[in-house]
């Protein structure tokens, strides 16, 4: 047979592509469940990690179920929705634009995990943002005051190895510990400085940038600030419930993030 004829070449490549496609599809579908378990466990490990609980994947699910006292999704007004915090679209913050009665509104769904570690409660929230080359994401754990960062975990899709990719390393993430989000009732978030002297002058919000990775560091800053600011309206409800819990009827208020606090205009405030 003439293996150099045009017909042969075309038929050959067509068959090859179909065969390869079938093989890859079968393998991919077959391994999906196992891969999903791994990814879910990684999610659990990361959520626990920023609340200060170190665990390996064999015990991730068990520990997670024990440590997470409560998880829920709230909208911008602080009302609980029916979504499951863990499985909601990669359990990251979901922003959606809805047009209602001719008014364009941005709808947010904010998942929160309340984690208990040694009698302390932490609110773990997901983060999502843009790095230099692609998506960056992570988790931040806020202390009971819903203001101080207890720990963060970052991940990235394709930041530059050796530069931006360092955003996941301890020397960078540990800087976020103890940073305060608001001051005098105003959201400040974190500030990134190239000069470590300036960082030292701003102990409550200052973060040292990663050398050679300005874009990635700014991406991280924006991610942390934007995402945590989206949760800002919940602060009053969440931190006041724990503070006022003994005074009020315990059973009802402790974990209810709703009641009266966030004003109606918070929809506009949340996302610019």
Partner 1 sequence: MAQTNYSDIFKNPLSLNNPITVQVLGICSALAVTVELQPAIVMAISVTVVTAFSNLIISLMRNTIPSRIRIIVQLVVVASLVILVDQILKAFMYNLDKALSVYIGLIITNCIVMGRLEAFALGNKPVPALLDGIANGAGYGIILVIVAFVRELLGSGSLFGFKVIPQALYDLGYSNCGIMLNPPMALILIGIVIWIQRSKMKELQEK
Query: Is residue 243 near partner 1 by the rule CB under 8 A?
Result: no
For residue 86, the SS3 value is coil
- Dump strand ranges (E) for the chain: 68-74, 94-100, 103-117, 120-130, 135-142, 149-156, 182-183, 186-187, 191-193, 206-208
Stretch that binds partner 1, among 24-32, 60-68, 130-138, 237-245 (CB under 8 A): 24-32
Measured distance CA(242)–CA(253) in Å, rounded: 9
Judged by CB, which is closer to partner 1: 48, or 238? Answer: 48
Stretch that binds partner 1, among 5-13, 137-145, 197-205, 237-245 (CB under 8 A): 5-13
Query: Is residue 9 near partner 1 by the rule CB under 8 A?
Result: yes
Judged by CB, which is closer to partner 1: 162, or 185? Answer: 162
Select from 14, 18, 20, 263 the one that contacts partner 1 (CB under 8 A).
20
Measured distance CA(139)–CA(151) in Å, rounded: 8
Q: Give the max Cα distance, the chain.
A: 90
With 0-12 / 13-18 / 19 or more C-beta atoms within 10 angstroms meaning exposed / middle / buried, residue 76 is buried
Judged by CB, which is closer to partner 1: 156, or 235? Answer: 156
Window 145-204: residues binding partner 1 (CB under 8 A):
161-162
Residue with tokens 């359990």: 91
Stretch that binds partner 1, among 15-23, 109-117, 174-182, 241-249 (CB under 8 A): 15-23
Q: Which two structure tokens, joined as six digits, stand for 225?
A: 């600030």
Measured distance CA(141)–CA(176) in Å, rounded: 10
Size of the site for partner 1 (CB under 8 A): 23
Query: Is residue 69 near partner 1 by the rule CB under 8 A?
Result: no
For residue 208, the SS3 value is strand
Phi, psi for residue 116 in degrees, rounded to 5: -105, 130
Phi, psi for residue 211 in degrees, rounded to 5: -60, 135
Judged by CB, which is closer to partner 1: 42, or 195? Answer: 42
Torsion angle in degrees (nearest 10) through CA of 40, 44, 47, 52: -160
Query: Is residue 24 near partner 1 by the rule CB under 8 A?
Result: yes
Judged by CB, which is closer to partner 1: 13, or 244? Answer: 13
Stretch that binds partner 1, among 14-22, 88-96, 178-186, 238-246 (CB under 8 A): 14-22
Query: Is residue 211 near partner 1 by the rule CB under 8 A?
Result: no
Window 26-65: residues binding partner 1 (CB under 8 A):
27-28, 31, 34-35, 38-39, 41-42, 57
- Residue 74 contacts residue 255 (beta carbons within 8 Å): no
CB of 165 to partner 1, least distance (A): 9
Contacting positions for partner 1 (CB under 8 A): 3-4, 8-9, 12-13, 16-17, 20, 23-24, 27-28, 31, 34-35, 38-39, 41-42, 57, 161-162
């Amino acid at each position: 047979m003439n293996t150099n004829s045009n017909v042969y070449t075309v038929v050959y490549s067509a068959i090859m592509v179909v065969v390869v496609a079938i093989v890859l599809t079968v393998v991919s579908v077959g391994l999906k469940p196992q891969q999903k378990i791994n990814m879910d466990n990684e999610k659990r490990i990361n959520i626990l990690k920023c609340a200060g609980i170190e665990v390996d994947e064999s015990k991730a699910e068990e520990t997670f179920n024990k440590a997470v006292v409560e998880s829920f999704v709230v909208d911008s007004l602080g009302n609980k929705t029916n979504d499951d915090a863990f499985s909601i679209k990669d359990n990251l913050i979901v922003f959606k634009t809805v047009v209602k009665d001719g008014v364009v509104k941005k709808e947010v769904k904010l998942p929160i995990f309340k984690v208990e570690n040694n009698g302390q409660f932490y609110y773990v929230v997901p983060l999502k943002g843009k790095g230099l080359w692609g998506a960056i994401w992570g988790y931040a754990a806020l202390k009971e005051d819903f203001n101080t960062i207890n720990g963060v975990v970052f991940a990235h899709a394709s930041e530059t190895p050796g530069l931006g990719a360092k955003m996941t390393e301890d020397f960078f993430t540990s800087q976020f510990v103890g940073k305060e989000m608001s001051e005098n009732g105003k959201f400040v978030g974190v500030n990134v400085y190239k000069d470590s002297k300036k960082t030292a002058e701003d102990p409550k919000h200052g973060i040292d940038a990663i050398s050679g990775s300005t874009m990635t560091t700014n991406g991280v800053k924006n991610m942390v600030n934007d995402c945590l600011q989206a949760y800002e309206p919940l602060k009053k409800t969440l931190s006041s419930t724990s503070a006022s819990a003994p005074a009020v009827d315990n059973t009802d208020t402790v974990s209810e993030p709703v009641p009266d606090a966030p004003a109606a205009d918070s929809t506009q405030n949340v996302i610019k």
